Each structure stands twice: as C-alpha cells, then as structure tokens.
Chain A
C-alpha cells in the first residue's frame, strides 16, 4: 500500500513540477534567455492568488489576478530588461545575471509587502481522504493531475496547430529565418514570456494550498525547472513534461529504498546521470559540435 501511496503522491508532485518547468523550458527553448526569474513569476502568481483569495474575491477572480500578475511580470521583464540588454548585444551571462538580480529583488519586494514568513491558502481541498485502505489522496492531487493534462495538452496543441505556436518553434530554430518570413521576433519572444509565465499559474496556486509559500520559494522552483529542462532535453516541451513527472515520481518512490533525507538527492542524481549518459535529454535532439 505504501508503494501505491507514494506513486500517487509522486504523480501529484510530478504534475506540479511539469507545469512549473514547461514555462521555463518554453522561454529558454524559444528565446535562449536563461530566465532565472521564472521562479519569481511563480512567487508572484502564488502571492497574488493568496492576496486576492484572502481578500474574499473568490476563486475565479483570484485565479485571474494571479494570471495577470504572472503575465504582466513576464512581459515587463522581457520589455524592460531582456530586450534592452539584447539590443546592446549583451551576452548570455549578462542576461542571466540580470534575471538573477530581478529574482532576488522580487523576493525582497514580496517579503516587504506580504511579510517574510510562511503563508498558506487554507482550503479543505488540501485535506486527504482515504480512497482505499491506507491510501490517502486529496482533491487537490486530482486537480493538479487534471490541470497538468489540460494545460500541457493545450500547450502542445497551441505549438503545433496555431501560427503563433509555429512561430515560437521557428524562433527556437532560426530567428533570422523568422525575420525573413516577415514575422517580428520581438513579438514572438513576448508571446513566449506571456505563455511561459501563465502556465506556471496552476502550479503556483496549488502549491499555495498544499506546500505553502514563503518569498524564498522561487529558488527551489528554479532548481526543479532547470533539472526537468535538462533531463527532458533542452528545447523539448514534451521532454520537459515527461521529465517533470518522472522527477516527481522518482523523488517519491525513492522513499521505498532510500532514507527520507536522500529524496532531493535523487532528483540531482538523475540529472547528473543524464548529463553524463544522455546529454541531449529524454527527447532532445543530439547536436554535433
């Protein structure tokens, strides 16, 4: 029964990891910007939901506020930080440092506004019920899995079947060619930030009710996003989704064989294994140098 319990728990965690990581993977894969502040988008989405829900706005308006916060942050960061740096031919490292700095600034601003302590959204949906003897599942676990299926399926459809989606994939392959076809790479880049930021919203909201929040949570989000992106294959959205679920499952099922203190190490053991054995990741394309 413990194995079934851990598998369900791992699936819930994996769904959240996938939702978190895919946004980062989409942005990094299509724009090549190391968007370290993706963790900050997560924090903003979570705290905006917490504030709006706590103010009695109801779930749907609070989700709207959360999505608005995340998308506005992504777009403003792109417009006010990344684009000017790229215009001056700033290096990959310059962009990374700027993004890192924004992440820290957001952490401190959130701390100033909401306090630096722990907060959580209180809901009965986070309370587990016994579905079969000795196996407990909370309604939020099903919601997390359903959200992952809907959002990630929707993203897949969007990237394959819409003009903007195809443009995003094209931008990842060859920005110059995108320009040749009369498309605006800056506008496509903005779309990548908007979509990548909004897709983090369900994970941020569910985390606010299950794990709880502190302004510093963004660093952990980034670690997981980075691990899933590399394990899945840089630039591969389906690979990142799969890697997110795989890491969540591995972290949870590892408890069957290792002590609890090693669960996080399992994630990074998998990451190192992929870097050494299969650097292109689960579904990434091998590149020749």
Chain B
C-alpha cells in the first residue's frame, strides 16, 4: 500500500513539474497570406516551416515548437492588428516579420513589449534603425543599390537611368539611395516615376519611360505589381536594360518571359557549402519542395533557427525564454551557425552578407559578379 502511494506521489509530482521543463514554444509570424503579395507568404513559410521541422526533429528545445501565423497582407494596418494579437493574446516572445512598411509599423509594439521581431524579407534601409528588439537576417537594399550602380555604370556602360518606384517607405528609400549613388558620377538619374501601391495599369508610365530614352530602368516595387510593371514596360516598347533588387527573385517573376535578360541583385548564399547546417537545409528543402531554395527561404529558415539556438541556450541556463532574455543571449553568443556559414550581427542588429549581381536567363538567375560589402 505504502509502495503504491509512493509511486502515485512520484507520478503526480512528475506530472506537475513536467510542464515547467517541457514547455511548448510558440513564435509569431506576420506574413502576407492573402492579397497581391500572398506569393511571398508561401515562399517565407517554406523556410520557416522547414526550420521548425528540424528543431523539433532534433529535440533542440524541451517542448514542441510551432509558429502562429498572422496574415499581414503585406500592409501595415493588418500587421499591427496581427502583432497586437501575437503579443497580447498568444504571448509570443519572438516574431518573424516581412516587408518594410509592415516591419516599421510593428517594430514599436515589439520595442514597447520587449518582443523580438526578426525581418528576413523587407529591405528598406530604415529597418536597421528600429531599435534593439528589431533584427534583420537579410542585407538591406542600400547595400544592393551600392553594389549594382557601379556595375551598371562601369561594367555595362549604362549611364542614363529612369527609376519606377512604388510610392511607399520602401520605394522612397530606394529613390534616396539611387540619388546618393549617382551623386558625383558621370551617370545620371534622368527621370523618377512613382506609382501608387494599388496601381495595375502602367502603359502610360511606359510611355513616359520611353520618352526619356534611358539606357537602364530600375524597377523598385514588390509582389504582383513589380511583375506587371516589367511586363507592361516591355509590351509597350521599352527595350532598355531593366534592373531590380532581391524582391524580384520570386518564382512568378522568374517565369515571366519579359524578365529574361533583367539584372537583379541579392544576397550571396553559398548553397554548395559543406557546413552541416547548409547541407541539411539544401538537401531537405529540395526533397520537400522539389526545387532549389532562394534567399528568402534561407532567411526565414535562419530567422526561425536563430530562435531555436537562443531558446535552447536559455533553457540550458535555466532562464525563462522572454524577448528580453533572447536579446541578451544574442548579444552574449555573438556568432551563430546558420545556413550559409557562421554569421554575426552588426551593432544595429543586421546581418552582413556579400551582394551578388545576377542576370535572369531562362527562368533562373546567373551570377555576374559578387560584391563584398563593408560594415
């Protein structure tokens, strides 16, 4: 009888204490899951879901990890609603973010509530200055502009540019970067044309571009709109070289025949690296999705894996997994083994990476040049 009582007491005590040790981990994600930018949501989730699968398979954390997805539509207002829910209802300590406008809108909530927000898709340069709780695992677009302008004006001899950009914080940041990049050079930014976020008809814009007779047209938009701009420029007789940034490297855009010959920039990732994290990611990604990964897949895999590494280290220390402790642990650990190799954050919470200048050919990209960017 006494033995049974002891066993029962032991089981009861174990059951009572177990949740403290095997606590499930939920992080948030604010991705565009509907609307014209929804295609990005699929791309981002492919990376983050694979990371969760690996973290759980490895038993990296004491409990099961999952992601609570909220639909930001790629717009600030729904994103703020989603972030508020994630912080106040779901109670996440860490969330994934994407898009410049979205990231800027939610960053204040993260800062105020000590919830870490990690961006792997937005590239507006302002994202480097959103406070200590906002981190970027993607090089920002100012670095892409700095890499591509010398290539265009030097290697390719294209001296007259027209910029077509979306009228939002991201597009305005690109305009500002290009104006700075052209200052003091023998090349010129001949015309700057902004388009509303909701615009879909660009034949009139194409007529204005054509009348400016540029050597090169820089398209700075995202989602369906950027593809519509490229298609309508080509359809309406614009034969100049078209250039864009990493946001253009999506399956839809690469599949568009009019994209052929375009120059795009993006972070350099060595997919052939022999380090175990990269090898496992590339192998499993190809097996699961039957295609090669893109930088966005890598970024959200890395952003999710980063949580796993930090939370595991906190659990090992016996420290609670909160946004505040995650930040402190990131500052303490300094370097992380992620896809692409061992990386470290700059003081502003942004990862540095070399930038590749690529050309779209036959639905894929070919690297023309790799530019090392200094901190």
Contact = CB atoms under 8 A, between A and B. Distances in A.
Contacts of B38: 111, 116-117, 215-216
Interface stretch (A62-70, A81-89, A126-134, A193-201): A126-134
Interface stretch (B1-9, B80-88, B226-234, B353-361): B226-234
A261 B227 CA distance: 18
B203 A252 contact: yes
A108 B167 CA distance: 27
Interface stretch (B149-157, B190-198, B262-270, B317-325): B190-198
Contact of B207 (A5, A127, A212, A214): A5
Contacts of A259: 193-194
Contacts, number: 115
Interface in B192-251: 193-196, 198-201, 203-205, 207-208, 210-211, 223-224, 227-228, 231-232, 234-237, 250-251
Contact of A210 (B34, B198, B232): B232
A193 B199 CA distance: 28
B363 to A, nearest CB: 13
Interface in A204-233: 210-212, 214-217, 220
Contacts of B193: 259-260
A115 interface: yes
B251 A255 contact: no
Interface string A104-129: 00011001000111111010001110
Contact of B203 (A9, A107, A108, A264): A9
Nearest to B35: A216
Contacts of A217: 36, 200
Nearest to A111: B38
A117 B224 contact: yes
A251 interface: yes
Chain A interface category by residue count: 35 or more
Contacts of B251: 117
Interface in A2-22: 2, 5-6, 9-10, 12-13
Given A111-B34, A210-B235, A220-B200, A260 B227 contact: no
Nearest to B164: A260
A9 B195 contact: no
B59 interface: no
Contacts of A117: 38-39, 42, 224, 250-252
Contacts of A116: 34, 38-39, 41-42
A96 interface: no
Given A118-B227, A260-B195, A261-B195, A9 B34 contact: no
A252 B236 CA distance: 14
Given A126-B235, A216-B35, A259-B194, A12 B204 contact: no
Contacts of B42: 115-117
A108 B195 CA distance: 27
B95 to A, nearest CB: 22
Contacts of B257: 122
Nearest to B191: A260
B36 A214 contact: yes
Interface of A: 1-2, 5-6, 9-10, 12-13, 107-108, 111, 115-120, 122, 126-128, 130, 134, 136, 138, 210-212, 214-217, 220, 251-252, 255, 259-261, 263-265
Given A108-B34, A210-B203, A252-B203, 9 more contacts: A1-B211, A5-B207, A120-B256, A127-B235, A130-B237, A138-B236, A211-B232, A260-B194, A263-B196
27 contacts: A9-B203, A13-B203, A108-B34, A115-B42, A116-B42, A117-B252, A118-B252, A119-B252, A120-B231, A120-B256, A127-B235, A128-B236, A128-B237, A130-B237, A136-B237, A138-B235, A211-B200, A211-B201, A212-B227, A214-B224, A217-B200, A251-B204, A252-B204, A259-B194, A260-B164, A260-B194, A261-B196
Interface of B: 34-36, 38-39, 41-42, 164, 167, 193-196, 198-201, 203-205, 207-208, 210-211, 223-224, 227-228, 231-232, 234-237, 250-253, 256-257
